[in-house]
Amino acid sequence: MIDKDLLNAIGVLAGGIGALIGAIAKLIEVLKQKEKATPRRRRKSSHR
């Protein structure tokens, strides 16, 4: 039999890893959006 404490620890670990991966994915998306947004702003300012 597997201890319930061990199962709970594994569940918490899996949840924490999932949250971390989600946070990193959001960070990457935000950084990509900023990279796309900055050249557009620079182009507009240079046209002016």
Distances (CA, A) of 32 to 21, 25, 36, 43: 16, 11, 6, 18
* pLDDT at residue 47 is higher than 70: no
Distances (CA, A) of 14 to 17, 19, 31: 5, 9, 26
- Confidence band (pLDDT; 50, 70, 90) for 48? low
User: pLDDT (tens digit, 9 = 90+) per residue, 15-39?
Assistant: 999 999 999 999 999 999 887 776 6
* pLDDT at residue 8 is higher than 70: yes
Full-model pTM: 0.54
Q: How far apart are CA 47 and CA 40, in angstroms?
A: 11
* pLDDT at residue 6 is higher than 90: yes
How confident is the model at residue 46, as a pLDDT? 59
Q: Following DSSP, what letter does each residue of 1-48 receive, concatenated?
A: ---HHHHHHHHHHHHHHHHHHHHHHHHHHHHHHHHHHHHHHHHHHHH-
